[in-house]
Amino acid sequence: MIYRLLLAYRTLGKSFGMWIQPLFTGWMFLNLYINVTICMALDPLFFPKLRKTDVKSPIVIVGNPRSGTTFLQRFLVDNNFGAGTRLWHELVPSLTLQTLLNPFIPILEKVSPARHHSASVHKTSLVSVETDDPALFFRFFDGFFLFGFIASHAEEDLRDYFDPNKRDFSARDFAYIRQVWRRNLVSWNRDRVVSKLFSLGPRVNPFLAEFPDARLLYMLRDPLSMVPSGMSLVTGVQEQAFGFSKLPKEQQERCIERLYQGFLQIAKLFHDDWVSGKIPKENVMLVHFDRMMTDFDGLMDEILPFVGHEASDELKATIAATADKQRAFKSKHKYSLSQYGLTRERIVKDYAFFYETFGITPAELPPEAL
């Protein structure tokens, strides 16, 4: 962890001229780590229910950023399929520490990392249900979050360091995720988890070794929409936090290319495991983004038995109403491939494996999206 903290410090200093602020951020991170460690050890004493709580049949939504994972997770959580993880519970998973900090959440919201997200791209806050990847980032200062938001600016290309096939940190991550989820079940007073882990795609097998009864919903979206939207999400955070647009154009292009290759790698590693038969298909359901928008009720008719959830009359009515809204929805997000140095031809070629295997037809984009 010390290596990664120093790497981030050097990268932010050399890339953005930030030499002082990261020292305070690093000090806060280490203090958070120590306090969370101590208070997690105290949790069983103050919350005896935790000793009897374990994770059973978690529902986990997987897919590249901007593939529809947030919408589906929040729908399932809002309709009582299980407990999602609020962002501040990922930063502070200890039940003991949550109890102490809960009155101060409105104040902490002002310094929350969520403030760097553009609401037009991804609306979030400390109390929003979010992907569980930040829990791993704030515990180990590692993973694709670190690569995407900071290490993609390093002088050397560090993608191999974050490739789980070349540096496997799955056992560490999933053991910790279990501890976070157990506490979250106690906090929500639920008996099932509904998670989102976009970084899980390349690590499905070790995850299922830890959670063999998990049900995974893998989101599929046309890369022509998914890639520029994902780029906008990550560079938008970098802009708010560091001033991405102030960098020399060459450095911006280098970072964008690394992000592009990183997104491509996440999709390719899942794809290769899927077609090779390494992934047990009884644990995974493929969910097409376009169908979620145009046939949500029909899709939910398949998701319900897959995850083993009974549909009440109230849930059926909610699904029908949501399906109508989805069919009428018009996205306000506007991206173009050229602003990220990309072309339709390149994406279709690079993601040919994705289109062919999962039966996706590349969209015909309007001129303003090229």
332-357 pLDDT, tens per residue? Answer: 667 789 999 999 999 999 999 999 99
The answer to whether 12 and 22 have CB atoms below 8 angstroms apart is yes
pLDDT at 255: 95
Q: Classify residue 185 by burial, with Cβ atoms within 10 Å: 0-12, 13-18, 19+.
A: buried
Tokens of 40: 């997690």
* 47: pLDDT strictly greater than 90: yes
Query: Does the structure show a pLDDT above 70 at 364?
Result: yes
May I ask the CATH class of domain 2-308+317-362?
Answer: alpha beta
Q: Is the pLDDT assigned to residue 108 strictly greater than 90?
A: no
Q: Is the pLDDT of residue 365 over 90?
A: no
Average pLDDT over residues 219-238: 93
Q: Which pLDDT tens digit goes with each residue over 129-162?
A: 899 999 999 999 999 999 999 999 999 999 999 9
Are 295 and 323 spatial neighbours (Cβ–Cβ below 8 Å)?
yes
Structure tokens at 333: 């997000």
Distance CA 220, CA 230 (A): 14
> How far out from the chain centre does Cα 349 lie?
26
Torsion of CA 5, 89, 237, 252, to 10 degrees: 30
Averaged over 298-318, what is the pLDDT? 97
Q: How confident is the model at residue 240 (pLDDT cuts 50, 70, 90)?
A: confident
In the chain, the percentage of residues whose pLDDT exceeds 90 is 82
Question: Across residues 199-209, what is the average pLDDT?
Answer: 94
